């Protein structure tokens, strides 16, 4: 099966057996993380636990806040100075942060937010899910905004994505969300924990660094006079349009000869890979289209691919959220099937194989 075990085998360097949450935390440190603010919640607790000792080693600040509300507003304050700042949580905590995320987006302040999804709604449970897809990709808070959303599917990508996230956040002056889940957070597998890139400091034209020998700056999301708010929103949407042109990314696995296409992201894509192996053992030619960016959605690539492979099975650990983006992307000639498990349930490769046979 191509390609390599999810990045690690092909990468030069020493492979280490590492838990997804730890890989992500170390990836953030290697990306030049200056500050972490967060409040504990399973299944992401290894991230703050690790950063509580690791980040001070590099001169960074680790602070366990009194709540998620405090965490996200500390992120806003620290990131406004141009520092590399992150927080992490899981569904219930991310819900509490939505007001702050809306303010970050409105004020165009770059930062990293990590959601290691657990099943809901409400307090739910600690089992994996992908049910925060809508919340992540549609803004989540009030107002017409977007956060860039990256979906890792291996320990290697858990390590690599914080670096990409900070680069993208600063390039577009926009919050970036890494949408992981309980499987990827708790899973251990080999990864190469060496920089996938080098932090690219951008010329500082906006951060609040003290108005010494320069005009004062102001970061805000409130525009009360005249048409200023609409003008501001148009600025944001010009940016989102640029993001939608420049960023969409997907991985295609075994799609060259495929008759049936599975569309899945994150850990559902891992389980789908096992199902594809079972299907191919039975002579069924099935391939995988795995969105890496969930916003912007790689709809154009999916539309092109489905002009050739017109039987599609969408697999998610929710009741059909990314399914909307697939429907928006493909033409009416494509037959879309869906298999989802709600929060608390995880599909098995054999479950997916049975659905493949119905396509």
Partner 1 sequence: MHHEWLLAGFGGQGILFLGDLLAQAAMRQGLQTTYMPTYGVAMRGGTANCIVRLSDGPIGSPLFEEPDAAIILNQQSFTKFLPVLRSGSLIIANSSMIDAENANTRKDVHIVYVPATELAREAAGTERATNMIALGAFLAVENTLQENTIEQIMGEERNPSKQKLVQTNKTAIQAGMAYVHKLASSRNGA
φ/ψ of residue 342, rounded to 5 = -75, 170
Burial class (CB in 10 A: 0-12, 13-18, 19+), 47: buried
CA gap 213, 334 in Å, rounded: 60
CB of 113 to partner 1, least distance (A): 22
The residue length of the chain stands at 359
Using CB under 8 A as the criterion, what x/- string covers residues 165-184 for binding partner 1?
Answer: -----------------xx-
CB of 18 to partner 1, least distance (A): 10
In terms of CB distance, is 43 or 152 closer to partner 1? 43
Six token digits for residue 342: 């709600």
CB of 189 to partner 1, least distance (A): 5
The reply on whether position 350 binds partner 1 by CB under 8 A is yes
CA gap 86, 30 in Å, rounded: 13
In terms of CB distance, is 275 or 302 closer to partner 1? 275
The reply on whether position 9 binds partner 1 by CB under 8 A is yes
Within 10 angstroms of residue 230's Cβ, the number of other Cβ atoms is 10
Beta carbons within 8 Å of 190's beta carbon, 6+ residues apart: 5, 8, 9, 15, 16, 17, 18, 155
Residues 37-76 that bind partner 1 (CB under 8 A): 42-43
The reply on whether position 187 binds partner 1 by CB under 8 A is yes
In terms of CB distance, is 199 or 344 closer to partner 1? 344
Indicate the SS3 state at residue 316.
strand
Among 6, 54, 164, 290, binds partner 1 (CB under 8 A): 6
The reply on whether position 189 binds partner 1 by CB under 8 A is yes
CA gap 104, 3 in Å, rounded: 37
In terms of CB distance, is 43 or 248 closer to partner 1? 43
Within 10 angstroms of residue 333's Cβ, the number of other Cβ atoms is 8
The reply on whether position 272 binds partner 1 by CB under 8 A is yes
Q: Are 268 and 319 in contact (CB under 8 A)?
A: no
In terms of CB distance, is 188 or 327 closer to partner 1? 188
CB of 203 to partner 1, least distance (A): 41
The reply on whether position 150 binds partner 1 by CB under 8 A is no
Taking the CA atoms of residue 330, residue 327, residue 2 and residue 347 in that order, the dihedral angle to the nearest 10 degrees is -160
CB of 273 to partner 1, least distance (A): 3
CA gap 339, 332 in Å, rounded: 19
CA gap 217, 194 in Å, rounded: 37
Among 151, 276, 309, 330, binds partner 1 (CB under 8 A): 276
- Contacts with partner 1, residue ranges (CB under 8 A): 1, 3-6, 9, 15, 17, 42-43, 126, 182-183, 186-190, 270-277, 346, 348-350
């Amino acid at each position: 099966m191509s390609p390599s075990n999810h990045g690690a085998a092909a990468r030069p360097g020493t492979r280490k057996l590492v838990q997804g949450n730890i890989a992500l935390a170390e990836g953030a440190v290697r990306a030049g993380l200056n500050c972490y603010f967060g409040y504990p919640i399973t299944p992401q607790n290894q991230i703050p636990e690790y950063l509580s000792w690791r980040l001070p080693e590099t001169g960074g600040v680790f602070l366990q806040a009194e709540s998620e509300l405090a965490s996200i507003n500390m992120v806003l304050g620290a990131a406004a100075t141009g520092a590399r700042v992150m927080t992490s949580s899981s569904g219930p905590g991310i819900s509490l942060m939505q007001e702050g995320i809306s303010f970050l987006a409105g004020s165009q302040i770059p930062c990293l937010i990590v959601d290691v999804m657990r099943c809901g709604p409400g307090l739910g449970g600690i089992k994996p899910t992908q049910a925060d897809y809508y919340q992540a990709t549609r803004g989540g808070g009030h107002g017409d905004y977007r956060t860039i959303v990256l979906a890792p599917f291996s320990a290697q990508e858990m390590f690599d994505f914080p670096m990409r996230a900070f680069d993208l956040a600063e390039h577009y002056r926009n919050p970036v969300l890494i949408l992981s889940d309980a499987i990827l957070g708790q899973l251990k597998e080999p990864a190469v924990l060496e920089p996938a890139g080098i932090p690219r400091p951008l010329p500082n034209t906006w951060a609040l660094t003290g108005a010494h020998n320069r005009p004062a700056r102001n970061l805000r999301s409130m525009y009360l006079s005249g048409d200023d708010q609409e003008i501001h929103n148009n600025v944001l949407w010009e940016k989102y349009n640029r993001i939608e042109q420049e960023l969409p990314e997907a991985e295609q696995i075994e799609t060259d000869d495929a008759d049936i296409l599975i569309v899945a992201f994150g850990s559902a894509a891992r389980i789908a890979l096992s199902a594809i192996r079972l299907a191919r053992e039975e002579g069924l030619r099935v391939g995988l289209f795995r969105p890496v960016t969930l916003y912007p959605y790689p709809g154009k690539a999916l539309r092109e691919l489905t002009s050739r492979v017109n039987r599609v099975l969408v697999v998610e650990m929710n009741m059909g959220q990314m399914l909307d983006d697939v429907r928006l992307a493909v033409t009416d000639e494509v037959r879309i099937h869906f298999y989802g498990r709600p929060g608390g349930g995880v599909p098995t490769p054999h479950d997916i194989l049975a659905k493949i046979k119905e396509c």
